[in-house]
Chains A and B, each alone.
Chain A
Amino acid sequence: MKRVLQTLAVLAVLGGLGAAVVVSFGLYNVSARVGHLPGVSWVLHTTFRNAVSLRAPKHADVPPLSPEMAELGARHFDAACAVCHAPPGRIRTATMRAMLPEPPRIADAVAGWTPAELAWIVREGVKMSGMPHWPSVRDDEVWPVVAFLMRVGEMTGEDYAALTAPPRMPARAPEGAAYCAGCHGVDGRSGNPHIPRLDILGAPYLALSLETYRGGMRESGVMRHAASEVPETALPDLVRYFAEQGSTDATTGGAGMPGTEGAADGAPRASVPEGRTSTGAVPDGTASPTPGPEAPGTNAPGTDTPGADPGLVARGEALALASSGDRDVPACRACHGPSADRKSADFPELSGQYAPYLETQLKIWRDGTRGGGPRANLMTRAAAELGDDDIAALAAYYASLSPQSAPAEE
């Protein structure tokens, strides 16, 4: 017995010494050209697949993955992910193909994964593979990307190009505006309920938002990427351009685009800008090989305003105006209107904003993951006591209002 233990101890010391020699003298070849030793790729890949299956969220936690979410996901994918994972209709560059492991074309990459597993991969990334994690602590933002990924396998090159083409901008639009307008619309009215309208927000708030995204104070993987993709010197012009959409809108009917007249009443889908695809361009999720929990039609475009439940809107109004007698929820109106009193320009205007976007924001405020500017502590306290039903009511109420005029018009 003693002899056995001594032998094991000697072997352990020798093994440790061997490892130390390999590490200190650089004996292991890290060349991507040479690749892994036989069997290592299989071990790593199997570990990867099993680790994702073990940790992926429950199937029941997957939200409905609507076509609007897929539109947003496609835009983000195009800006952030397409460089490695070639989308339909494009080829991977020779450089990307020389990576180890080689990033698969996106249609190949998503095959065989469930929506929950894709969400985990997009959120967490995969170490030693070059796949980054989501650049924010928020865990709700990956679902639009997943909505896109569940559809990308069926897309043709034309489908993808139509989804991600930059819109045609008016001549006076500053450089970089087309990139912003891809999601937010040429006139700042995204037309997509998951993407906020910018035309109602006002220049100070837009500038503050971009600053806090770039500085890492406000959480959003999508917007942190977007705000860091545009050069800092271009930001003031972009802010001015989108802020002007709100004030010119009432008189000229949007940014001179046809078909935007009448949009001043706040109907969110009245202003799908030229160059955007209609939602019909997004293949239906049910055709996906992996059955997801999508329920096409339940989240049809524009359900946020016209079809809003009047009871829900009334409840939201009572909360927002503090007429409900609720002693836990501060009156939204005091900072966000509608109000006769002038409000600080650092508070965003909410009237006319899209309900799904407002709901998402209120939830991350309540959960403490939103972050923001110097006044963010106010909203963190204000949202702390909101229930999901309160949030739905408040979002429905503000979405039902017509946008307040820009402060200059008061």
Chain B
Amino acid sequence: MTTRRRRAIAVRAGLAAALTALAACDGPQSVLSPAGDDASQLTTLFWVMLVGAVVLWTAMNGFFFWITRIRTGEMSRKWAEALIIGGGILFPVVVLTALLSYGLTIMPDQRAPGDGLRVRITGEQWWWRVEYWSEGADAPVVSANELRLPAGLRSDIELTAARVIHSFWVPALGGKMDMFPGRVTETSLAPHTPGTYRGQCAEFCGLSHALMAFRAVVLPEDEFDAWLAREAEDSAAPPGPGRDVFMAEGCGACHTVRGTEAAGQVGPDLTHVGSRQSLAAGILPMTSDALVDWIADPEAFKPGVEMPGYDHLPQEDMMALARWLEGLK
């Protein structure tokens, strides 16, 4: 291989890598397009650190260049001692102290107390159990695989896990926080821009770790209140063939649909499943086609998933079931 060809390949690979990296700078799961106070602060921290690092790197390399190529003469002892003490001890102490103080001062902000709403999120394999505790409420509003938050308010986030360690991370809204079985960790989020963002488990948690995502939907405060009130209601669970299939096939063993006999606690609450934007913890669209595919063979979409496949159901039962679930708004 000629040197020129090698160089061309290297350039192309470099360009591809740069494009990939740049592509991550925008979109629903980017730390660089913040939609919350915490993420904004972290973004500022990132830029300060980056600029500081670039300045230091440039200065150090410039200095090396100067001393080895430009001013190559012998250095006096006095000069050398000043350089070692000043550049090796004083300068790093001052710079690092400043950065550390800045970093430490913003750390408590990430755990600032919220304005009333408390959301408890439990990492399951591989989905998210989400419970909304309004101020003063004695029972939570249970949902799953989607986090809705009011814009302009700070909400407490309580995190725990069922069996293995997970990590909760919505890059556009704030920093990540690990979730441990048998322990509660706390963070808080104060989103400021309404929109839909993406969260992802950020700690390897088993076969389908990469398929454990969710949507984080930030709503204006009044819309959020209206949504939470609707979410708290029982499902209309309209009678019909789909409901009959759901009840006859035992779906309620694992899933709750409030307002019916289905009270299972093992899998996600389906009371208003049709109102969610995604299916199967952020990996499929919420459509009846996707519901049919998922229910028939969840393993095909999420290796190791606990939900058993229902490919023994006749097609018409499956369609009726999917349409009914899609209608649970």
Contact = CB atoms under 8 A, between A and B. Distances in A.
B309 A377 contact: yes
B265 A344 contact: no
Interface in B238-282: 244, 247-254, 260-266
B246 to A, nearest CB: 9
B103 to A, nearest CB: 39
B312 interface: yes
A30 interface: no
Interface residues of B, number: 21
B249 A344 contact: yes
A278 B249 CA distance: 40
A298 interface: no
Contact of B263 (A331, A342, A377): A331
B162 interface: yes
Interface in B292-329: 306, 308-309, 312
A335 B261 CA distance: 11
Given A330-B253, A330-B266, A381-B306, A344 B248 contact: yes
A332 B263 CA distance: 11
A329 B265 CA distance: 8
Contacts of B266: 327-330
Given A330-B253, A332-B253, A381-B308, A322 B263 contact: yes
Contact of A334 (B250, B306, B309, B312): B250
B251 A322 contact: no
Given A341-B248, A375-B312, A325 B265 contact: yes
Contacts of A328: 266
A339 B308 CA distance: 22
A378 B248 contact: no
B247 A333 contact: no
A384 to B, nearest CB: 9
A319 to B, nearest CB: 11
Contacts of B260: 341
Interface in A330-370: 330-335, 339-344, 347
Given A329-B266, A374-B312, A340 B249 contact: no
Nearest to B248: A344
Interface in A32-70: none
Q: Which 4 A-B pairs have the closest CB atoms?
A: A335-B250, A330-B253, A334-B253, A341-B247
17 contacts: A322-B263, A322-B264, A326-B265, A327-B266, A329-B266, A330-B254, A331-B253, A334-B250, A334-B252, A334-B253, A334-B264, A335-B250, A335-B253, A342-B247, A343-B250, A378-B250, A381-B306
